[in-house]
């Protein structure tokens, strides 16, 4: 321990994950030497939790860092940071990823095709345990809450869950969605400036959308995005349209330009770009030879600026930029995960 504090991580200190294997974990990071994803409880199906027990388990892990060591599962994790960590028991990092089904079939999505995963997942209603966390003030109102999946909006408890979190005062909720099902609770979160939604559209035309998504919902998604854009709080516009470059399917300037123009037309201010994980894995050793894909990210930047759109580079697009702009190889935890 130094005057600056000691090394630990936000998830270990105050995080919890409800995952798709019916396991409660501390985090979902699994790309470090120690293996990550410390388990708090297995075989979980939505029961009210004994929080004293959960926090006691976390304290045992946290204690290692307070003594100047590194908890075994955390060895080599890039999320470890030195700072002054507090000693309190609360949750301010929450990942809800126990949803498994989706109303879309993106060609790049392994989860939607993993029949074993689906067979082994026992779905449960998350509302009672979240209500308990709110009633007991275990969940901080400024908690970072990420909702991923699967597609959470198709589950019957989704609206109640999101209303609960919004009414409790949570104001930092991030949702990844297919955008196919419109959610009034999402619109409410956007209007209150408490929620951010990202929808991966991946296309500027219906034809390309259907080749990637394998569902005929291009107009529905465009309409829902327009409604969400209209609902968002002017000071905190938080609707993001995303484009995952799938080489051989949507890797064309004209498609990207159309996507950005459509996005601007419906009132969205933020876009993000990424690259198909499968393609990155297959070409990992030769990424520096694929200048074409990097050039598409550069083209996206140029047109996004023209359309007054903020552009975010998501993980794989950021890696491609680093390799081609700075000639750097990628080090760190993401390497193992991406190499597969
Ligand atoms: S594995 Fe990494 S993200 Fe997970 S608790 Fe340990 S340090 Fe934090
Ligand atoms: S919307 Fe998300 S969960 Fe659904 S198929 Fe596409 S990538 Fe998978």
pLDDT tens figures, 279-318: 998 998 888 888 999 999 999 999 999 999 999 999 899 9
* Residue 32 domain-assigned (yes or no): yes
Closest listed residue to residue 97, CA positions, set 176, 166, 167 = 176
* Residue 219 domain-assigned (yes or no): no
* Residue 21 domain-assigned (yes or no): yes
Give the total number of structural domains in the chain: 1
* pLDDT value at residue 151: 97
Cβ-proximal residues to 34 (8 Å cutoff; 6+ apart), any chain: 70, 71, 72, 73, 74, 75, 76, 77
Instruction: List, in sequence order, every residue forming a beta bridge with 174; answer none if it has no partner.
Output: 146, 196
Is the preceding peptide bond at 122 cis, omega within 30 degrees of 0? no
* Residue 165 domain-assigned (yes or no): yes
Whether 338 has a pLDDT exceeding 80, the answer reads no
Q: Extract the tokens encoding 32.
A: 């470090």
Distance 128 CA to ligand 1 centre (A): 27
Instruction: Tell whether ligand 2 has an atom less than 6 A from the beta carbon of residue 150.
Output: yes
Distance 12 CA to ligand 1 centre (A): 6
Residue nearest to atom 8 of ligand 2 (CA): 109
Instruction: Tell whether ligand 2 has an atom less than 6 A from the beta carbon of residue 79.
Output: no
* Residue 183 domain-assigned (yes or no): no
* Residue 206 domain-assigned (yes or no): no
Instruction: Tell whether ligand 2 has an atom less than 6 A from the beta carbon of residue 217.
Output: no
* pLDDT value at residue 331: 47
Residues 165-209 pLDDT 10s: 999 999 999 999 999 999 999 999 999 999 999 999 999 999 999
Integer Rg of the chain from CA:
21
Residue span of the structural domain in which 56 resides? 1-178
Whether 335 has a pLDDT exceeding 60, the answer reads no
Residues 26-42 pLDDT 10s: 999 887 889 999 999 99
Residues 225-259 pLDDT 10s: 999 999 998 888 899 999 999 999 999 999 999 99
Distance 199 CA to ligand 2 centre (A): 10
* Residue 230 domain-assigned (yes or no): no
């Amino acid at each position: 321990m130094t005057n600056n504090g000691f090394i630990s991580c936000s998830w270990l200190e105050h995080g919890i994950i409800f995952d798709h294997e019916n396991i409660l974990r501390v985090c979902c990071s699994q790309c470090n030497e120690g293996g990550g994803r410390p388990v708090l409880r297995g075989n979980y199906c939505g029961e009210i939790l004994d929080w004293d027990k959960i926090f006691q388990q976390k304290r045992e892990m946290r204690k290692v860092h307070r003594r100047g060591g590194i908890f075994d599962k955390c060895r080599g994790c890039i999320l470890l940071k030195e700072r002054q960590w507090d000693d309190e028991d609360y949750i301010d990092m929450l990942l809800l990823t126990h949803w498994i089904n989706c109303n879309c079939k993106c060609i790049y999505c392994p989860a939607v095709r993993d029949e074993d995963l689906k067979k082994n997942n026992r779905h449960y209603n998350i509302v009672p345990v979240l209500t308990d966390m709110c009633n007991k003030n275990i969940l901080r109102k400024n908690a970072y809450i990420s909702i991923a999946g699967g597609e959470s909006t198709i589950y019957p408890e989704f609206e109640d869950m999101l209303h609960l979190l919004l009414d409790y005062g949570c104001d930092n909720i991030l949702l990844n969605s297919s955008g196919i099902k419109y959610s009034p609770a999402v619109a409410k979160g956007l209007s209150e400036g408490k929620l951010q939604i990202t929808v991966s559209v991946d296309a500027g035309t219906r034809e390309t959308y259907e080749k990637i998504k394998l569902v005929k919902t291009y107009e529905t998604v465009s309409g829902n995005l327009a409604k969400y854009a209209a609902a968002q709080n002017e000071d905190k516009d938080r609707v993001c349209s995303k484009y995952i470059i799938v080489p051989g399917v949507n890797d064309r300037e004209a498609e990207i330009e159309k996507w950005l123009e459509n996005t601007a037309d419906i009132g969205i201010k933020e876009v993000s770009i990424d690259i198909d994980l499968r393609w990155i894995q297959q070409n990992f050793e030769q990424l520096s030879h694929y200048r074409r894909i990097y050039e598409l990210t550069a083209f996206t930047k140029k047109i996004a600026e023209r359309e007054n759109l903020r552009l975010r580079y998501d993980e794989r697009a950021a890696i491609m930029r680093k390799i081609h702009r700075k000639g750097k190889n990628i080090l760190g935890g993401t390497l193992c995960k991406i190499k597969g």
